[in-house]
Structure 1
Amino acid sequence: MRKIIIALVLTAGFGGTAFASDKCTVAMADWQPREALQTKLEGEGWKVRSIKTEDGCYEAYAINAEGKKVEAYFDPQTFQSVDMKIED
């Protein structure tokens, strides 16, 4: 019985860690094209340098409307911001 409990605790611990590393969990079939994200951002005054896929999200390297360099993550289905790092 003790071995079963230990195995369950270890499985839950590792499973949670793997899941936590993904910022977005949208099925690929539900993704919008990255060009649509670029168009949206440029419409908001951003200068997009590149967009790639990272942690299940779109990751954009850009200059935002305030003129700051950003590394921003977006949900690929809704284009909602998930995380953003502003560089100095």
Structure 2
Amino acid sequence: MKKMLALALVAATLVAPAFAADVCNVPAEKAQPKDALKAQLEKDGWTVKQIKDDKGCYEAYATKADGKRMENLFDPETLKMLDVEAD
């Protein structure tokens, strides 16, 4: 029984990296430019500090005038905010 449990733990460890794949699987030709996301956020009153690639998505760091900070992932094709935790 202990051997089976040990083998199961080893197998789970080996398979885990496969689940760390990109959250956004958008082909590069369908992705909108990061400047489009920046413009969208600025229109909503945010000051954009940085937009970078993360998990195949855009990760935006921004601040509102009241000091509220935002760090969220966005779909590069639709520019919609995702309900996925950013790193």
TM-score calculated relative to the size of structure 1 = 0.69
CA displacement at 1:67 relative to structure 2? 3.5
Gaps of 5+ in 1: 1-9
- Name the counterpart of 2:49: 49
Amino acid at match of 2:38: Q
- The 1:84–1:64 alpha-carbon spacing in structure 2 relative to 1, beyond 3 Å, is farther
Name the structure 2 match of 1:39: 39
3-state secondary structure, aligned to 1:22: coil
Aligned partner of residue 52 in structure 1, secondary structure: strand
From the two aligned structures, give the one with the greater strand fraction: 1
Distance in 2 between the 1:60 and 1:35 partners? 11
Amino acid across the alignment from 2:73: Y
Q: Note the aligned Cα RMSD (angstroms).
A: 2.6
Alignment-mate amino acid for residue 43 of structure 2: G
- 1:32-63 deviations in Å (ceiling 9; x for gaps): 00001000000001110000101000001111
The CA deviation at 1:18 is: 2.4
Change (3 A) 1:65 1:30: farther
What's the secondary structure of 1:18's corresponding residue? Answer: helix
Runs of 4+, deviation exceeding 3 Å: 64-67
Which runs of 5 or more residues in structure 2 are unaligned? 1-10
